[in-house]
Amino acid sequence: MRENLSIPDLDLQENIREIRERVGLAAEKSGRLEKDIAIMAVTKTVPAQRVNQAIGCGLTLLGENRVQEYLEKYPFYRRKDCSIHFIGRLQTNKVKYIVDKVDMIESVDRVSLAKEIEKRCGIANKKMDILLEVNIGAEEGKSGVLLENLPELVKEITALPHLCLSGLMAIPPAGGNEEENRYYFSKMHHLFLDMQAQKIDNSNVRFLSMGMSGDFETAIACGANIVRLGTVLFGKRK
């Protein structure tokens, strides 16, 4: 007898229940409500059927890392029931494949990528919400704009009519303890508040995307309103 993949398994349901509880507690401690925090289901290596189970349990925000994998799963998603963000490193030559298939690109970190998104959105007659990915730890070889280059990137991007600067995204250096993560998350929150206060043209700065399975509660405490969860939701990748 075949497994009914339309029915969420009990482990997934329990994981989601626990995540919501943890997010709610972390939000409360930071003076917010659970509904103020968007829980993103990061779908890398997760079969489309299982992603659809999570959607059926009320997780309506998906995060995609890899263009090819996403294109393979895209036809099978319950797309009318969810919003989809691209969160992985994005090559300029791959933009054309996803620009009509995502609601936001969270990993914009260079002018050349922004201009390609602008070009493809112009063709599609679409305005794309984007987040700027910040290399908050100034790590060599890691994606993300360096802090010293952020003002110029903001200036360039907000001049592009088919893009809307909607906030910031970051991943702190791997292997950090809670105190170290808190330092970087707090630094991101200060950048976020400063960007909001500037009221920049062609922007609607409202999202701070940071925090993953191992540190999302710390991120929420520091002001995150999107947390990107994979392992804690779906289990370890096989």
pLDDT in tens, 141-171: 999 999 999 999 999 999 999 999 999 999 9
The terminus-to-terminus CA distance of the chain in angstroms comes to 24
61-70, long-range: CB within 8 Å, 24+ apart, which pairs? 61/85, 61/226, 63/87, 63/106, 63/228, 64/88, 64/98, 64/102, 67/91, 67/94, 67/97, 67/98, 69/44, 69/45, 70/98, 70/101
Residue 85 and residue 102 in contact, taking contact as beta carbons nearer than 8 Å: yes
DSSP string covering 168-220, please?
Answer: EEE-PPTT--HHHHHHHHHHHHHHHHHHHHHT-TTEEEEEEE---TTTHHHHH
For 20-55, how does the pLDDT look when each residue is reduced to its tens digit (9 = 90+)?
999 999 999 999 999 999 999 999 999 999 999 999
Q: pTM for the whole thing?
A: 0.94
Sign of CA dihedral 22, 24, 25, 30: positive
Residue type, 91: Q
Which pLDDT band holds residue 5 (cuts at 50, 70, 90)?
very low
2 pLDDT higher than 80: no
Which pLDDT band holds residue 8 (cuts at 50, 70, 90)?
low
Mean pLDDT in residue range 219-228: 98
Question: How far apart are alpha carbons 13 and 60 in whole angstroms?
Answer: 14
Fold designation for 10-234: TIM Barrel (3.20.20)
Instruction: Give the three-class secondary structure for 38.
Output: strand
User: Is pLDDT larger for residue 24 or for residue 4?
Assistant: 24
